[in-house]
A and B are shown apart, each in its own frame.
Chain A
Amino acid sequence: MSTSVRRTEPPLTVRTPTHEPRNRRRRSSPGRAPATKLFLILPSVVILILTNAYPIAYAAFQALHNGSLISPGEFVGVDNFAKVLADPAFWRAAGFTAVFAVAGVFGSWIIGIAIALLLRTRIPAKGLLKTILLLPWVVPIVVSAMSWNWLIGTSSSPVPTIFHALGFGDAIFLSDPLGAQITVCLFEIWVNFPFMMLMMSAALSSVDESIYEAAKIDGASARQQFRYMTLPIIAKPTYISWVLMAIFCVNDFPTVYLLTHGGPVGATNTLVVLAYKTVFQNFQTGPGVAIAFLMTLALAIVAVLLFRQIRKSTSQ
Chain B
Amino acid sequence: MKNILPPTAMSRRGFLALTGAVTLTASVSACAVGGGNASASGGSTVKFWDMPWGDKNYTDAAQSLAQAYKPGDGMPGVSYQQVNWDGFNQTFSSAIASNTGPAVSTGGGFQAFQFAKQGAIAYADNLIDSFKKDGTYDDFLPHTLDAMKTSDGYVGIPWNLDVQVFWYRKSILDQIGATPPQSWDDVLDVAKKASAKGYVGFGISGGSGNYGPMAVLSLMINNGGGLFNSNGDLDVVNDRNAEAVDFLTELVKQGAVDPGSVSMKDDDLTTLWTNKKVALGFQSPAFNNVVGDEKDVLVTDPLKSRRGEVGGLYYVNNIMMYKNTPSQAGSEAFTSYYIKNMKTLWQKGVMQGLPALKSITELPEFKANAQNTAVVEKWQPICKTTAAQSSALTAKLATIDGGQAMTDFCQTVLAGKTPSKTILTKLESDIKAAIS
Instruction: Decide: A282 and B93 in contact? CB cutoff 8 A.
Output: no
Instruction: Decide: A70 and B118 in contact? CB cutoff 8 A.
Output: yes
Residue among B20, B27, B277, B408 having the largest count of chain A Cβ atoms under 10 Å = B408
Contacts of A284 in B (CB 8 A): 434
How distant is the Cα of A70 from the Cα of B114 in the complex, in angstroms? 11
> Is B355 on the interface with A (CB-CB < 8 A)?
no
Instruction: Decide: A69 and B93 in contact? CB cutoff 8 A.
Output: yes
> Is A46 on the interface with B (CB-CB < 8 A)?
yes
Instruction: Decide: A281 and B258 in contact? CB cutoff 8 A.
Output: no
Q: Write the chain B residue with the least CB distance to A287.
A: B433
Contacts of B23 in A (CB 8 A): 42-43, 46-47
Contacts of B265 in A (CB 8 A): 149, 153
Other-chain residue from B87, B261, B411, B434 in contact with A282 (beta carbon distance below 8 A): B434
Convert B261-288 into 0s and 1s, putting 1 for each residue whose CB lies closer than 8 angstroms to a CB of A: 1111100100010000100000000000
> Is A265 on the interface with B (CB-CB < 8 A)?
yes
* Residues of chain B from 84 to 104 with CB closer than 8 A to chain A in the complex: 87, 89-90, 93-94, 96-97
> Is A226 on the interface with B (CB-CB < 8 A)?
no
How distant is the Cα of A174 from the Cα of B22 in the complex, in angstroms? 51
Contacts of A68 in B (CB 8 A): 93, 118
How distant is the Cα of A284 from the Cα of B258 in the complex, in angstroms? 34
Q: How far is the CB of B122 from chain A (nearest CB, A)?
A: 14
Contacts of A43 in B (CB 8 A): 19-20, 22-23
The count of chain B contact residues (Cβ–Cβ below 8 Å) is: 46
* Count of A-B residue pairs with CB < 8 Å: 116
Instruction: Decide: A266 and B27 in contact? CB cutoff 8 A.
Output: no
> Is A309 on the interface with B (CB-CB < 8 A)?
no
- Please choose the segment from A103-111, A239-247, A256-264 that sits at the chain B interface, where 4 or more of its residues have CB less than 8 A away: A256-264
Instruction: Decide: B262 and A264 in contact? CB cutoff 8 A.
Output: yes
Other-chain residue from B19, B93, B207, B272 in contact with A261 (beta carbon distance below 8 A): B207
Q: Known contacts A70-B120, A263-B407, A264-B206; decide if A280 and B259 are in contact (CB<8 Å).
A: no
Contacts of A263 in B (CB 8 A): 206-208, 262-263, 407-408, 411
Contacts of A176 in B (CB 8 A): 262
How distant is the Cα of A281 from the Cα of B399 in the complex, in angstroms? 6
Contacts of B260 in A (CB 8 A): 153-155, 160, 170, 172, 174-175
Q: Known contacts A46-B23, A283-B398; decide if A70 and B404 are in contact (CB<8 Å).
A: no
Q: Write the chain B residue with the least CB distance to A263.
A: B411
> Is A40 on the interface with B (CB-CB < 8 A)?
yes
Instruction: Decide: B207 and A70 in contact? CB cutoff 8 A.
Output: no
Contacts of B93 in A (CB 8 A): 68-70, 280, 283
Q: Write the chain B residue with the least CB distance to A50.
A: B30
Instruction: Decide: A265 and B412 in contact? CB cutoff 8 A.
Output: yes
Residue among A149, A156, A175, A277 having the largest count of chain B Cβ atoms under 10 Å = A175
* Residues of chain A from 296 to 315 with CB closer than 8 A to chain B in the complex: none
Instruction: Decide: B263 and A280 in contact? CB cutoff 8 A.
Output: no
> Is B364 on the interface with A (CB-CB < 8 A)?
no
Convert A255-295 into 0s and 1s, putting 1 for each residue whose CB lies closer than 8 angstroms to a CB of B: 00000111111100000000011011111100000000000
Other-chain residue from B16, B120, B258, B263 in contact with A264 (beta carbon distance below 8 A): B263
Convert B229-271 into 0s and 1s, putting 1 for each residue whose CB lies closer than 8 angstroms to a CB of A: 0000000000000000000000000000011111111001000
Instruction: Decide: A277 and B404 in contact? CB cutoff 8 A.
Output: yes
Q: Known contacts A42-B23, A43-B20, A46-B27; decide if A280 and B89 are in contact (CB<8 Å).
A: yes
> Is A189 on the interface with B (CB-CB < 8 A)?
no
Q: How far is the CB of A288 from chain B (nearest CB, A)?
A: 11
Instruction: Decide: B30 and A265 in contact? CB cutoff 8 A.
Output: no
Other-chain residue from A70, A172, A266, A281 in contact with B89 (beta carbon distance below 8 A): A281
How distant is the Cα of A174 from the Cα of B408 in the complex, in angstroms? 14
Instruction: Decide: B264 and A281 in contact? CB cutoff 8 A.
Output: no
* Residues of chain B from 106 to 130 with CB closer than 8 A to chain A in the complex: 114-115, 118-120
> Is A131 on the interface with B (CB-CB < 8 A)?
no
Q: Known contacts A50-B27, A154-B268; decide if A175 and B118 are in contact (CB<8 Å).
A: no
How distant is the Cα of A277 from the Cα of B265 in the complex, in angstroms? 18
Contacts of B268 in A (CB 8 A): 153-154
> Is A71 on the interface with B (CB-CB < 8 A)?
yes
> Is B42 on the interface with A (CB-CB < 8 A)?
no
Contacts of A250 in B (CB 8 A): none
> Is A39 on the interface with B (CB-CB < 8 A)?
yes
Q: Write the chain A residue with the least CB distance to B261.
A: A175
Q: How far is the CB of A146 from chain B (nearest CB, A)?
A: 10
Instruction: Decide: A70 and B119 in contact? CB cutoff 8 A.
Output: yes
Contacts of B180 in A (CB 8 A): none
Contacts of A180 in B (CB 8 A): 263
Residue among B22, B264, B398, B412 having the largest count of chain A Cβ atoms under 10 Å = B264
How distant is the Cα of A280 from the Cα of B399 in the complex, in angstroms? 9
Q: Which 4 residue pairs spanning A and B have beta carbons closest together? A: A174-B263, A175-B262, A172-B260, A69-B97
Which residues from chain A sit less than 8 Å from chain B, CB to CB?
39-40, 42-43, 46-47, 50, 68-71, 87, 149, 153-156, 160, 170, 172, 174-176, 180, 260-266, 276-277, 279-284
Which residues from chain B sit less than 8 Å from chain A, CB to CB?
16, 19-20, 22-23, 26-27, 30, 87, 89-90, 93-94, 96-97, 114-115, 118-120, 206-208, 258-265, 268, 272, 277, 398-399, 402-404, 407-408, 411-412, 415, 433-434
12 A–B contact pairs at CB < 8 A?
A: A69-B97, A70-B119, A70-B120, A153-B260, A156-B277, A160-B260, A172-B262, A174-B262, A264-B206, A279-B90, A283-B114, A283-B399
